[in-house]
Chains A and B, each alone.
Chain A
Amino acid sequence: MLDADSQKPPKGKWSTPPFDPRFPNQNQTQNCYQNFLDYHRCVKRMNRRGKSTQPCEYYFRVFHSLCPMSWVQRWTDQIQNGTFAGKI
């Protein structure tokens, strides 16, 4: 039960965001923010073209894992109010 192999997550399923070489250092703030932006931009553009937003799910899972829930809540509220500072 304690061997390392049986503890690895099943292959092919989502476990946690992989290492992103764009953000190799201790400060992961940009990693969270960039994936948040990428998700919303992806959804907006896919919707504009009438396509499915399923490929955008990767960005959602990454920022959902990395970003503190309070940050996501604040940014989502700002987007709804039209006061979000980022470019989507």
Chain B
Amino acid sequence: MACPFQMGLQDATSPIMEELLHFHDHTLMIVFLISSLVLYIISTMLTTKLTHTSTMDAQEVETVWTILPAIILILIALPSLRILYMMDEINNPSLTVKTMGHQWYWSYEYTDYEDLNFDSYMIPTQELKPGELRLLEVDNRVVLPVEMTIRMLISSEDVLHSWAVPSLGLKTDAIPGRLNQTTLMAMRPGLYYGQCSEICGSNHSFMPIVLELVPLSYFEEWSASML
């Protein structure tokens, strides 16, 4: 979950998010280096009494500042494309979970075996217990088994929504009439929070998502108890 005054991304819970986090560090470092170089050059330009009024051409520096940015862009593009293709790898999921966006709550369906479905409403601020997170807690969490590849199918029953869980690197639009697939694989158990990420009306900010990742045996007990 997000913490107050947080500076970076949330801790990664899936392998893809880990890759994205490192990629973000790599790219941000390049951006910081370029920005500090430019800032340094501007400051030296503005704090010198030296002048040079007879510049005709500058072939060498022009070549450098063409080739070097091209190399930097390639150094950004290669890891980016690697991760993009990694996200599209074919994997065989062990479980399929559907989520339907509504105004203003999510509903979840686990129909591989029996028909298990339930709604997930945000807990209003007045009803929070001590220690619970404002605008993030829900009455029924999405319980899932840890370390298993899960196929998530996302759609909507009314307007556009978006199902997002930042620590797993997931954000998929919920479009009425369309079934969008994404793959979920959490490496460690715990609670992972997300919020609706597409404007959907007055309570768009009040329809969060909470994933509860547990070992398989707990998941089986929970799903049996929910039927």
Contacts and interface: CB of A to CB of B under 8 A. Distances in A.
Interface of A: 1-2, 4, 6-9, 14-19, 24, 26-29, 31-32, 64-70
A46 to B, nearest CB: 24
B109 A29 contact: no
Contacts of A64: 111
A29 B163 CA distance: 17
B136 interface: no
B216 interface: yes
Please classify the interface of chain A as helix (H, G, I), strand (E, B), loop, or mixed, using the class held by over half of its residues. Answer: loop
Given A7-B147, A9-B94, A29 B217 contact: no
Contacts of B177: 29
A9 B100 CA distance: 26
A2 B147 contact: yes
Interface in B152-209: 153, 155, 157, 172, 177-182
Given A16-B112, A27-B180, A66 B157 contact: no
A80 to B, nearest CB: 19
Contact of B96 (A7, A16, A70): A16
Contacts of A31: 179
B170 to A, nearest CB: 12
Nearest to A72: B111
A6 B94 CA distance: 13
Contact of A27 (B90, B93, B151, B179): B179
Question: Which of A1, A16, A67 has most chain B Cβ within 10 Å?
Answer: A16
B149 to A, nearest CB: 10
B115 to A, nearest CB: 7
Contact of A69 (B117, B146, B148, B216): B117
Contacts of B95: 15-16
B179 A65 contact: no
B11 to A, nearest CB: 19
A68 B102 CA distance: 13
Interface string B209-220: 000000111000
Given A7-B147, A9-B94, A1 B181 contact: no
Contact of B179 (A18, A19, A32): A32
B106 to A, nearest CB: 12
Interface string B88-107: 00111111101010000000
B180 A68 contact: no
B215 A1 contact: yes
A86 to B, nearest CB: 15
B157 A70 contact: yes
A8 B93 CA distance: 10
Nearest to A9: B94
A66 B94 contact: no
Given A28-B180, A68-B109, A68-B155, A15 B100 contact: no
Nearest to A2: B215
A80 B112 CA distance: 25
Contacts of A1: 215, 217
